[in-house]
Amino acid sequence: MPYTDRVDYVAAMNCNVGYAMTVEKLLGLEVPERAEFLRVVVGELNRISSHLVAVGAMPMDLGAATPFMHALRERETINDLFEMLCGARLTYNYVRIGGVSFDLPPGFTEKTAAFLDHFESMMRSEFDPLISQNLIYRRRLAGVAPISAATAIAYGLSGPNLRASGLDWDLRQDEPYSIYPKLEFDVVVGTGEVGVLGDCFDRYAVRVGEMLQSVRIVRQCLERMPDGPVMAKVPRTIKPPTGEAFVRTEAPRGELGYFLVADGSDRAYRCKIRTGSFASMSILEALSPGWMIADLVAIIAAFDVVAPEIDR
């Protein structure tokens, strides 16, 4: 499990969850409901902190350093929350096969609720006027490297990069897993509001919208969190029976798919991880000809790739 933290160190919780779900599918294991709620809480908080890095680093890549500080300041609070929960600030190793490692510590719910309120108003009063409405920023992204939905699908783009091309597709709603069917949230898709559908600005705007949806999800989870155990009964050594499973989840950088081949031992015979960043980088060669070098910076930034997710 700690290895999966390193698949995408900016969204380690989501990588933990995907791997745990794959092994659980091989085992036919049910996870206690409270653990599912906790997985969604940490997954969505991690989505916010991951998207904060994305929307903060984008203006920085384009030459505006200040917004990154604003974004990382907010992300700090989420790191604090995760530290309260599991002791780690980056590579959490929080999820376990069969549940999660710790229940909520005292004060976590209140602190999270306070952060969500603060975050929502910060996005509206500070982040949007400063960055989303910034004329230079908008012009650097508007109309740059638009991708049609069909091209996005052909190259295997997924997650925010796919939705930016206008396709209403989110595994949390369209192939629901965990407790997502019980939760209310909207899927944010690109609209071409300042340029062309599927351009770099759409990829940015989708992420901003998704953070606010994640706020809604976390609020609902905290309100409805049931009591109960956070771990299923699992043996000390887990030996999935011979078989294979492919499980994909909606991670911040697109679909995170684990293909796991089990041979009856306690180790994976073969594990392939399919990530959003890998697909995003593979389209660059076809996408970039004709654009300026400065645009290429915007294109890569807007895909929100994370290097370890590319080479895994």
Partner 1 sequence: MDDFGNDALLTLLSERHPTATLTVPGPRPTGHQDRTLEVDAPHLREVCVTLRDEPRLSYDYLMSLTAVDRPPDSIEVVAHVFSYSHRSMLAIRTNLPRNAPKVPSLSPVWPAAGWHEREQFDLVGVLFEGHPDLRRIMMPDDWEGHPLRKDYVKPDRYHGIDNTRPKNG
Q: Where along the sequence are the contacts to partner 1 (CB under 8 A)?
A: 25-26, 28, 153-156, 167, 169, 174-175, 240-246, 248, 255, 257, 259, 261-262, 264, 269-270, 272, 274, 278-279, 281-283, 286, 311
Give the nearest distance from C-beta 23 to partner 1 in angstroms: 10
Name which of 175 and 186 has its Cβ closer to partner 1. Answer: 175
Name which of 141 and 262 has its Cβ closer to partner 1. Answer: 262
Cα–Cα dist 222/121, whole Å:
19
Nearest-5° angle of CA 172, CA 30, CA 261?
80
Assign 3-state DSSP to the chain and report helix, strand, coil percentages, each to 5.
Answer: 55, 10, 35
Q: How many CB atoms lie within 10 A of CB 240?
A: 26
Residue 139 region by backbone torsions, left for phi larger than 0, else alpha for psi between -120 and 50, else beta: alpha
Residue labelled with tokens 């609902």: 220
Name which of 37 and 169 has its Cβ closer to partner 1. Answer: 169
Rounded to a whole number of angstroms, the CA Rg of the chain reads 19
Give the nearest distance from C-beta 83 to partner 1 in angstroms: 30
Cα–Cα dist 229/35, whole Å:
7
Phi, then psi, of 207 in degrees rounded to 5 = -65, -40
* Contact (CB, 8 A) for 304 and 200: no
Beta bridge partners of 100: 95
Task: Report CA dihedral (187, 191, 195, 200) to the nearest 10 degrees.
Answer: 20
Give the nearest distance from C-beta 159 to partner 1 in angstroms: 12
Name which of 60 and 153 has its Cβ closer to partner 1. Answer: 153
Two tokens, residue 157:
């783009």
Give the nearest distance from C-beta 255 to partner 1 in angstroms: 7
Distinct helix (H) and strand (E) counts, the chain: 14, 5
Give the nearest distance from C-beta 182 to partner 1 in angstroms: 20
Give the nearest distance from C-beta 77 to partner 1 in angstroms: 34
Name which of 103 and 244 has its Cβ closer to partner 1. Answer: 244
Give the nearest distance from C-beta 259 to partner 1 in angstroms: 5
Name which of 56 and 166 has its Cβ closer to partner 1. Answer: 166
Name which of 105 and 241 has its Cβ closer to partner 1. Answer: 241
